[in-house]
């Protein structure tokens, strides 16, 4: 529960509890929200992660899905939580993108790009990625043809 507590989403991954205002959807096209790069547990980073998640959840065009994700992005957990929260609305193609991202996240976190992260940040990000990959895979199996 440490990772979930650190981003203060609380409970059983209740994404609807996020009430902090976020960036406009047009900002997503220009680059990832700042919160996807903020990985420490300071009040500032927690707030920016919450705002970034809300922005992604509110983005009707889901432009963030096709943006690249680096180790810090995976460690923040924001994109993974967004994929998890949107999974029932995603197309089969988008579910595939999310699953591939989640499947690759542990390797990216443990690779050279994750050099500035703490072992705890790497571990939490990798564990979340495995959970999200499993959930996206189950959604794909339920709705998508192979």
Per-residue burial over 99-130, b if 16 or more Cβ lie within 10 Å, else e, is bebbeebbebbbeeebeebeeebbbbbbebbe
pTM of the model: 0.76
pLDDT tens by residue, 32-56: 556 678 888 889 989 999 999 999 9
Closest by CA to 116, choosing from 77, 53, 74, is: 74
Q: In Å, what is the CA distance from 104 to each residue of 100, 107, 130?
A: 6, 6, 10
Average pLDDT for 92-112: 96
Closest by CA to 72, choosing from 98, 42, 111, 44, is: 111
pLDDT tens by residue, 13-28: 333 223 233 333 333 3
Which range of residues forms the domain containing residue 81?
2-143
| Number of domains observed in the structure of the chain | 1
Q: What distance in Å separates the CA atoms of residue 123 and residue 146, rounded to the nearest whole number?
A: 31
71 pLDDT more than 50: yes
């Amino acid at each position: 529960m440490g990772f979930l507590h650190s981003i203060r989403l609380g409970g059983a991954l209740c994404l609807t509890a996020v009430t902090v205002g976020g960036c406009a959807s047009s900002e997503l096209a220009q680059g990832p929200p700042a919160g996807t790069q903020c990985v420490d547990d300071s009040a500032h980073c927690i707030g920016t992660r919450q705002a970034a998640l809300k922005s992604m959840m509110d983005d009707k065009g889901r432009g963030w899905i096709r943006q690249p994700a680096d180790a810090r992005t995976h460690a923040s957990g924001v994109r993974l939580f967004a994929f998890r929260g949107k999974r029932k609305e995603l197309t089969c193609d988008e579910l595939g993108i999310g699953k591939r991202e989640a499947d690759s996240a542990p390797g990216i976190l443990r690779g050279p790009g994750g050099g500035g992260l703490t072992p705890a940040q790497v571990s939490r990000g990798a564990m979340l990625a495995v959970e999200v990959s499993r959930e996206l895979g189950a959604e794909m199996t339920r709705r998508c043809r192979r």
